[in-house]
């Protein structure tokens, strides 16, 4: 993990880091204020060499202790510097009614991650796309939220006609 990058962020944008800590595995993390995530992403990509956007995920903190539930969600960013073989882990904490600025203009690969986080957790991104990435468009809700019902059922939708590019036309009722 790159404590050097976290030190540089803290030195160059001191108001951006809300909290720094080391997890049980010994990895360094920084919690970034949501209004500074784009500025931090530009800094670590352009000046610190973290050009590879690895992935993005979220955590629903609904069932934690009451004092740890606010804000409800944590959005996690995983970045990599290939030259120095370092990984950077950042978090942004956000409530349901808040939006996080999109980093798609800094990292093009973040589009899929932002769509995934919205699709499965309902966290919205200002300037991001609100299109499903894995669930079908008619799906109601966000399945990885802690308040999504375990036995929740979705309405059945009619099967969409698609062209079967592997077996050729006519195998699934679609005409050319």
Q: What is the model's pLDDT at position 151?
A: 84
Note the pLDDT of residue 128: 77
Q: What is the pLDDT of residue 170?
A: 54
20, containing H or E segment: strand 17-22
C-alpha radius of gyration, the chain, whole number: 19
- Residue 100 has what pLDDT? 96
Contact 20, 6 (CB under 8 A): yes
The Cα–Cα gap between 174 and 113 comes to 33
Residue 137 has pLDDT above 90, yes or no: no
Please report the domains of the chain, with CATH numbers, ordered by start residue. Answer: 3-126 (3.30.460.80)
How far is Cα 168 from Cα 160, in angstroms, rounded to an integer? 17
Instruction: Assess whether pLDDT exceeds 70 at residue 135.
Output: yes
Higher model confidence: residue 150 or residue 170?
Answer: 150
Q: Tell me the average pLDDT across 128-143.
A: 86
128: left (phi over 0), alpha (psi -120 to 50) or beta: beta
What is the distance between the alpha carbons of residues 111 and 130, in angstroms, rounded to a whole number?
10
- What pLDDT does 1 receive? 60
């Amino acid at each position: 993990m790159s404590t050097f990058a976290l030190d540089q962020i803290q030195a160059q944008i001191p108001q951006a880091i809300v909290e720094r800590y080391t997890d049980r595995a010994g990895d360094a993390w920084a919690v970034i204020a949501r209004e500074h995530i784009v500025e931090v992403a530009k800094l670590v990509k352009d000046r610190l060499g973290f050009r590879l956007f690895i992935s993005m995920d979220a955590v629903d903190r609904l069932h934690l202790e009451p004092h740890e539930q606010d804000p409800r969600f944590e959005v996690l960013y995983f970045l990599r510097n290939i030259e120095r073989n370092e990984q950077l882990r950042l978090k942004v904490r956000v409530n349901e009614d808040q939006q996080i600025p999109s980093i798609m203009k800094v990292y093009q690969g973040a589009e899929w991650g932002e769509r995934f986080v919205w699709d499965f957790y309902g966290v919205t991104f200002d300037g991001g796309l609100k299109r499903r990435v894995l669930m079908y468009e008619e799906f109601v809700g966000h399945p990885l939220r802690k308040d999504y019902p375990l036995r929740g059922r979705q309405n059945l939708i009619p099967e969409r006609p698609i062209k079967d590019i592997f077996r050729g036309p006519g195998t699934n009722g679609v005409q050319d």
